[in-house]
Structure 1
Amino acid sequence: MKIVQLKDGLATLNKGVTKLKKILEGFPEPSFTTEEYINTYTAVYNLCSQHYPYNYSQDVYDKYLDIFKDYIDLWVLPSLNQRHDEFMLRELEKRWLNHKIMMRWLSRFFEYLDRYFVTQNSLSSLNKAGLICFRDMVYEEVKFKARDAVITLINKEREGEQIDRALLKNIIDVIIRVGMGKNESYEKDFEAFMLDNSSSYYSRKASNWIAEDSCPDYMLKAEECLKKEKERVSHYLHSSTEVKLLEKVQNELLAAHHSQLLEKEHSGCRVLLEDGKVEDLSRMFRLFSKIPQGLEPVADIFKKHIMCEGTALIQQAEDIAAASKAKNLGGPEQAFVQKVIELHDKYMKYVNDCFTNHTLFHKALKVGFEVVCNKNVSGSPSAELLASFCNNILTKGVSNLTDEAYEETVDKAVKLLSYISEKDLFAEFCRKKLSRRLLFDKSAGDDHERLILTKLKQQCGAQFTSKMEGMVTDMTLAKEKQNEFVEYLKVSGVVHPGIDLNVTVLTTGFWPTYKSSDLNLPPEMVKCVEVFKTFYETNTKKRKLTWNYSLGNCIITGRFDRKTIELNVLTFQAAALLLFNTADKLSYLEVQAQLHLSDDDLVRVLHSLSCAKYKILKKTPSSDTVSSTDYFEFNSKFTDKMRKIRIPLPPVDERRKTVEDVDKDRRYAVDASLVRIMKSRKVLGHQQLVTECVEQMSRMFKPDFKLIKRRIEDLIARDYLERDKENPNMFKYVA
């Protein structure tokens, strides 16, 4: 095979390279023919495939590099140095495209060299060597000018000008490609400067906007800027830049001005909450969720706003209560609780819709409503107000809600209960109001009663509702027992008592404790009681009946001069009125002697019959109060337009009694908790014992530290606990 000398081989190679350069520079040069391509490839092959000393592979490799260097020196750098700004970028784009074409053609010409010599000698591949030439000779020469030109175009686009995004994408591609698969050049030579420039740009913009724009307008601009920056990354910047760039923009537009923005006088967060600007609040959440701790001040304002709105409702309710008291119009609990429910619905909707159920805002809502729902209104604890509200919607004839509306209202009322700390007080008020509804047939129905008990059980546990469920069940059983009594009277041959008697038999443990009375019943009533006792004892041997006359009611006929009127009265009132069937006039002391009532009960009874709206009895001397020196006689002249009237007793303030009962129960509960803790721990410090006790009791109420301290001392006195002799703050369980 004929030896090809280096000089001859390079001469053939130069012909092909020269033709390639002319084509790249736009000279009127025809494309490569197959023969020209084969000749050029063969020249390289021959020079690199001959045996030593005629193997010129190293010389050919050097020639490959020289081709790039000569072309860059002669054509590329002069054309780049003549241009500036965007024109320089366009020239760089063109030269980069030409360089890639040149690498592609030369890699074909020099393929044999790349296949063997480069691999065997661990040299840079031809493509890599071509990239290195461009990087070292072109990129390093123009990188600062190119960077500044790109940043200038980006800022123009930010100002609303149209720019060539494809040009920027290609320039960024150059910067990335010269990094040889790494982002080091991109990050060091371009990204860092672009991010700093972005910070400065948006810092200037933010300073102007915060002074001129309202909070909603500012947020609109900020959101639009973030959207545009995200699009910018997708169009021509590297994807790794997105997080860094958005962080810079968020920091300058939001983090740097968050306090000033949220607290703007006429358009800040509080104003948006007051005006119900749902869209603006949603935008605020989206924006501030992107910066570290950005949502915390928003949630804090949300919480304080709820407290402020709730406090305003409380003040409004107290004003209404004061006016109602002056006009004898009744309590404000129904309207107040309804407004609190509406307030909760409103801000729960904000949490769901505007704040996407974020835990921070659920917590703010919870804390805010805990403050609102644990304040007294006109001296009434919130637990009592909520219990009264529930009582109203469950009382027959008071609420006209449909089944769906009733269930929805119950759900919302029970939700409010979760914010009330004194759940045990609520339960006690509920129990007492439930007892009156059931005993006086005021309940809207068993289904409604059981529905609210189910909701309460889900919220607070089975123990919370066990007694109330027992009360509802008791009433069902009592009706069955009454039916059995009616059948007993029909078939047993017992002499009918002459009065329609309805007895409600209840289980003592389920029902509230009521004041017992040794009322001396009239003979007519005594006969009824004896008949029922006989019936009950024949059916139940091991249970004892205890009669509570304070809860009974009677319908008696009053024969007055003008007409006969049916009087719906309580048992105490009926017993007092029946005395006047055999006496024309009785003194206070005579009535008391015959009835065996306490002064408090007797005063209320006689006042309702002689001093209130319906004056069935005439009192001497005439006055609005009852005293032990008064005399009473039947008022035969009494009349009324109605044929049936109900005469209630003067109301008794049961709140104090209920609170006292709950306080007593709390003492027992704290005692049980302390003993339970100490029994399991044996030895425990004072602070830890108090903390664990508070944690156990917090589901039903928040015990006062003084109460816990008193209960500890009481348990020590009763030999349940003892102090450590060496450390008085340590307690031991006494087994």
Structure 2
Amino acid sequence: MSGPVVTQRPTSVKAAKDRGVPQMPPVPNKEDITATWDYLEMGINRVMHHFTSGIDMQSYMGLYTAVHNFCTSQKAVSPHGGSPANNAAGPQRGAHLLGEELYRHLIEYLNGHLGQLLDTSRTHSDEALLQFYIKEWSRYTNSAKYIHHIFRYLNRHWVKREMDEGKKSIYDVYTLHLVQWRQNLFSPVSGKVMEAVLKLVEKHRNGETIEHSQIKAVVDSFVSLGLDDADPTKPTLDVYRYNFEKPFISATRSYYQAESQQFLAENSVIEYMKKAVSRLEEEEQRVTMYLHPDIKAQLTTACNETLISSHSTLLRDEFQTLLDNDREDDMKRMYGLLSRIVDGLEPLRNKFETHVRRVGLAAVAKVAADAEKLEPKVYVDALLETHTKFQGLVKRAFNDEPEFTRSLDNACREFVNRNEVCKSGSNKSPELLAKYTDVLLRKSGTSVEEAELEATLTQIMTVFKYIEDKDVFQKFYSRMLARRLVHSNSSSDDAETSMISKLKEACGFEYTNKLQRMFQDMQISKDLNSGFRAHCEEYEHKIDSQYSILGTGFWPLTAPSTTFAPPAEIQKDCDRFTMFYRNKHEGRKLTWLWQLCKGEVKATYSKSKTPYTFQVSAYQMAVLLLFNDKDTHTYEEIASATSLNRESLDPALTITLKAKVLIAEGGKVGPGTTFKLNYDFKNKKIRINLNVAQKTEQKQEEAETNNTIEEDRRILLQSVIVRIMKARKRMKHSQLVSETINHIKNRFVPKVADIKKGIETLLDKEYLERLNDDELGYLA
């Protein structure tokens, strides 16, 4: 037989007597059931009323023995009369009846005890009632634990057998105490207790100091009374939820509805947001301090609805003002509040997108007074400045949320592709971005740190991400890359490789395939030049020359638009290289791209005796070398000697005239003009670059590039349509148009009219055929 789980040390009999607690008499004769119950009632009463005095082991053993005696007495009377000896069930049936009698006595005792407490509770109200309830609950439950152990024999035998047989309303002794408390005391006073709790919470919300432990004790009491009638061993939160959570949430809603309306009537929206954030944090702390975790979800919902949802329109109306005034902290606060309610942020995202688009368009309009003279760097910096500003805002104020990032991307895509500059041509943004990249990657007088250059290239890729016509960027970029490589004008091979890697990561291998092949050709050309120099060691009067072999299919270059007769010295070296190359690669054809060739000539003719070095194009070199023979040449003589047409000769002559290397006599550059060597030529620089493209040449090249883009798009559209139809065999016309757009939109946004035109062309060429019901079929 085990003893009770005693929560405080049993005191001695002498100690109990010293405190005025009545001494327990000896255990009565077990055959005297009435006396036995009187003895038990005295013990129970002692535990209930003098629990703080404790109970000594002798008294405990006496009470335990009395319970055992009561349940095992042989003098139980059958319900039909007669002695146990005459009963069919014998002594076992008698023990059963005595166990039931003892259980009934205990219930009657508890009813009487709780009735007295109920009468006393009616003399209290508010905090006094709360204190009374908490004090009596603590005394009652602690006493119940002792009584539960004293009645362990009843629990182990009679109660267990009754419960095993499925009897309802039979509980172990401790649970019986809780059930009786719930029925006799809790039900009548819970409403008033809860009113006292809510008044205490309201004081706390108003900034007054309260005893948290009181509310915590009430919560624990309500939770403990959640007993499942079907299975008392399984606790539930039904009592707590109905009697505590429900009124608490209702009171919370009423409190914050009144407070928020009054506060907004007297304060600004910005101040209200600070107040709301503070209140929400307080309620979260309140759950931690003295509420049950189960209430958190409902409490959060109630606070969100009363503090945020009810005033969401006012908050959203203020958002534009915050954007206009860059109130980042307030926007962060508003984001935190509206993110707590369903669809609270969608209107903010729409306003944010509209605002970013408007700011971006204004930034471009500010720098785009003259789109033709617009510097690529100024344009790209205007785009980046807007993006960087609002990207930081999304990160800091909007928690880097993907939906806000999507709004930012949508806005940037709009002002990058459809702005003031793009009115002069939809290809302007990619063209200017490519030109800015060319400026960065080209050698210049100002050196840029490698880390700084890499960071700038990363920023360029940010703008590139938003460009819709990526094929336009590719076309301009490849032409400019070709010039940098051919003229050995790249600032850094590492930077060039890094940029191509970035483009490859963004658009795939196919997008950068030709760019990478250009680098391979240049490496092959270096090896070839080394072999050619070794080959020329046996010759005299060698020219310091270097040749680049460029694959026709990979370089965006075209054959010269004019005939050209190079100077004899140059022609001799070119013929020698041609023979050398053909010996290595039989059957290959070389096409000389004279318009890209350049060189240096040294001049010692000036009266100042200064040895100048002119950096010139091949055409300019041919013109200047003519003046070794005589000082004056007519336009017709120069044209005849060089075999150049006017489109190529005139720009070459114009640059030399502007630099005052030659003097024109007879008017403008053209037939009838005589050109004379300027012996009075002076310049602060020793090395003078005459190989400068004129604006007319640049415009012509841009026009040619744009024409090439249109032709490439037309071919790409047709090839994509054929690939789709080859895979699908049959498709509806509208489906084919839609799928073609999906395939191509990563390179450029195709027009539906161009797709339809491509389909018609393929029908004419018999790649496709018309079928019934607006369907197209593929012809193998």
- TM > 0.5 between the two? yes
Confirm or deny: 8 A CA contact 1:12 1:39 kept in the other structure.
Answer: no
Q: Give 1:584 shift.
A: 6.3
Greater shift after overlay, 680-689 or 587-596? 587-596
**Aligned position for 1:554:** 599
Q: Give 1:99 shift.
A: 1.8
Q: Deviations over 1:326-383 (max 9, x none)?
A: xxxx642113323433444444444444444432233223223222332356346211
Q: Deviations over 1:485-533 (max 9, x none)?
A: 2222222x4x646x54433332222211235221233444333333332
Greater shift after overlay, 543-552 or 3-12? 3-12
Confirm or deny: 8 A CA contact 1:394 1:448 kept in the other structure.
Answer: yes
**Aligned position for 1:67:** 109
Q: Structure 2 matches for 1:628-667, cutoff 5 A? A: 628=671, 630-636=672-678, 638-642=680-684, 643-647=686-690, 648-651=692-695, 652=697, 653=699, 654-667=701-714
Q: Give 1:581 shift.
A: 5.0
Is 1:88 matched up with 2:129? yes
Greater shift after overlay, 657-666 or 293-302? 293-302
Q: Give 1:386 shift.
A: 1.5
How far apart in 2 are the matches of 1:37 and 1:527?
A: 126
**Aligned position for 2:157:** 116
- Name the amino acid aligned to 2:281: K
Is 1:98 matched up with 2:139? yes
Greater shift after overlay, 421-430 or 515-524? 515-524
Give aligned-pair identity as a percent: 27
How far apart in 1 are the matches of 2:518 and 2:64?
A: 104
Confirm or deny: 8 A CA contact 1:299 1:360 kept in the other structure.
Answer: yes
**Aligned position for 2:737:** 690
How far apart in 1 are the matches of 2:67 and 2:590?
A: 121
Is 1:620 matched up with 2:663? no
Q: Structure 2 matches for 1:109-508, cutoff 5 A? A: 109-122=150-163, 123-180=170-227, 181-213=235-267, 217-264=271-318, 268=322, 270-271=323-324, 274-275=326-327, 277=328, 279-319=329-369, 321=370, 331-375=374-418, 378=421, 379=424, 381-491=428-538, 493=539, 496=541, 499-508=543-552
Confirm or deny: 8 A CA contact 1:89 1:167 kept in the other structure.
Answer: yes
How far apart in 1 are the matches of 2:452 and 2:30?
A: 104
How far apart in 2 are the matches of 1:548 and 1:22?
A: 114
SS at match of 2:731: strand
Of the candidates 654, 657, 661, which is equivalent to residue 607 of structure 1? 654
**Aligned position for 1:58:** 100
Q: Give 1:14 shift.
A: 3.3
Q: Give 1:167 shift.
A: 0.5
Alpha carbons of 1:581 and 1:401: their partners in 2 closer, same or farther (altered >3 Å)? closer
- Name the amino acid aligned to 1:252: T
How far apart in 1 are the matches of 2:661 and 2:510?
A: 46
Confirm or deny: 8 A CA contact 1:586 1:632 kept in the other structure.
Answer: yes
Alpha carbons of 1:14 and 1:481: their partners in 2 closer, same or farther (altered >3 Å)? closer
Is 1:15 matched up with 2:65? no
Q: Deviations over 1:275-318 (max 9, x none)?
A: 5x3x5554444443332233433433443333233222211221
Could you tell me which runs of 5 or more consecutive residues in structure 2 were left unpaired when the two chains were aligned: 1-27, 78-93, 164-169, 228-234
Q: Deviations over 1:28-55 (max 9, x none)?
A: xx75455544444444333321234265
Greater shift after overlay, 34-43 or 6-15? 34-43
How far apart in 2 are the matches of 1:240 and 1:488?
A: 90
How far apart in 2 are the matches of 1:220 and 1:665?
A: 58
Alpha carbons of 1:10 and 1:528: their partners in 2 closer, same or farther (altered >3 Å)? closer
Q: Deviations over 1:102-158 (max 9, x none)?
A: 423433443332222222223222222221211111111012112222122112111
SS at match of 2:615: strand
Confirm or deny: 8 A CA contact 2:635 2:675 kept in the other structure.
Answer: no
**Aligned position for 2:85:** none
SS at match of 2:368: helix
Confirm or deny: 8 A CA contact 2:631 2:677 kept in the other structure.
Answer: no
Alpha carbons of 1:134 and 1:563: their partners in 2 closer, same or farther (altered >3 Å)? same
Q: Give 1:589 shift.
A: 4.9
Greater shift after overlay, 49-58 or 428-437? 49-58
Q: Give 1:439 shift.
A: 2.2
How many matched pairs?
709
Of the candidates 526, 546, 554, which is equivalent to residue 510 of structure 1? 554
SS at match of 1:684: strand
Greater shift after overlay, 370-379 or 405-414? 370-379
Greater shift after overlay, 706-715 or 97-106? 97-106
Alpha carbons of 1:281 and 1:331: their partners in 2 closer, same or farther (altered >3 Å)? same
- Name the amino acid aligned to 1:310: G
How far apart in 2 are the matches of 1:599 and 1:657?
A: 19
Greater shift after overlay, 221-230 or 386-395? 221-230
How far apart in 1 are the matches of 2:120 and 2:285?
A: 33
SS at match of 1:538: helix
Q: Deviations over 1:582-621 (max 9, x none)?
A: 56665545544444333322332333333x3536131413
How far apart in 2 are the matches of 1:105 and 1:360?
A: 61
Q: Deviations over 1:539-567 (max 9, x none)?
A: 33221111111111233345345556443
TM-score normalized with structure 1 length: 0.89
What value does the CA root-mean-square deviation take over the aligned residues? 2.8
Is 1:672 matched up with 2:699? no
Confirm or deny: 8 A CA contact 1:215 1:262 kept in the other structure.
Answer: no
Alpha carbons of 1:608 and 1:62: their partners in 2 closer, same or farther (altered >3 Å)? same
Confirm or deny: 8 A CA contact 2:660 2:678 kept in the other structure.
Answer: no
How far apart in 2 are the matches of 1:18 and 1:487?
A: 120
- Name the amino acid aligned to 1:691: S
Alpha carbons of 1:136 and 1:618: their partners in 2 closer, same or farther (altered >3 Å)? same
- Name the amino acid aligned to 1:502: Q
How far apart in 2 are the matches of 1:203 and 1:404?
A: 56
How far apart in 2 are the matches of 1:59 and 1:500?
A: 125
Confirm or deny: 8 A CA contact 2:361 2:420 kept in the other structure.
Answer: no
Q: Deviations over 1:427-468 (max 9, x none)?
A: 111111112222223211322222222222222222222222
Q: Give 1:720 shift.
A: 0.3
Greater shift after overlay, 397-406 or 124-133? 397-406
